[in-house]
Amino acid sequence: MTAHKNQSFPRRLRFALSGLAHGLRAESSLKIQAAVFVVTVIAMLLLRPGPLWWGLVMLASAAVVAAELFNTAIEHLADHLHPQMHAQIRIVKDCAAAAVLVAVLGALAVALSLLVHLLTE
């Protein structure tokens, strides 16, 4: 049994927040995405779109951050298990990075859709 299994919710929440804090400290791309998220929330507050748009934008933003955190976790695990360059590990890391790219493109599609909606209102 792992140390994180069957812990209380507050303790598991601390584990999760610790992972988020590590990602924000260690990953420059996550720092950039966090800054973009802050700008996005400010823009949403100024533009005041409806609740559905808020939900879509927050969901897209969360998907980007989650993908980046998964990418970080996969990279750390792969580097720990196989620190030397290896073709299969490279594929794993490339696929994880591609997941972040797909999430970002999805978020950009939501942003573009919101922009079109606001301009045609």
Band the pLDDT of 2: cuts 50, 70, 90. low
Tokens representing residue 51 in the block: 């609740």
What kind of architecture, by CATH, is found in domain 9-119?
Orthogonal Bundle (1.10)
Residue 35's pLDDT is: 94
Q: Each residue of 82-105: pLDDT tens digit?
A: 888 888 999 999 999 999 999 999
**Mean confidence (pLDDT) of the chain:** 93
Check pLDDT > 70 for residue 12.
yes
Residue 71's pLDDT is: 95
Check pLDDT > 80 for residue 16.
yes
Q: What percent of the chain has pLDDT over 70?
A: 97
Crossing angle, helix 87-119 and helix 51-81, to 10 degrees?
170
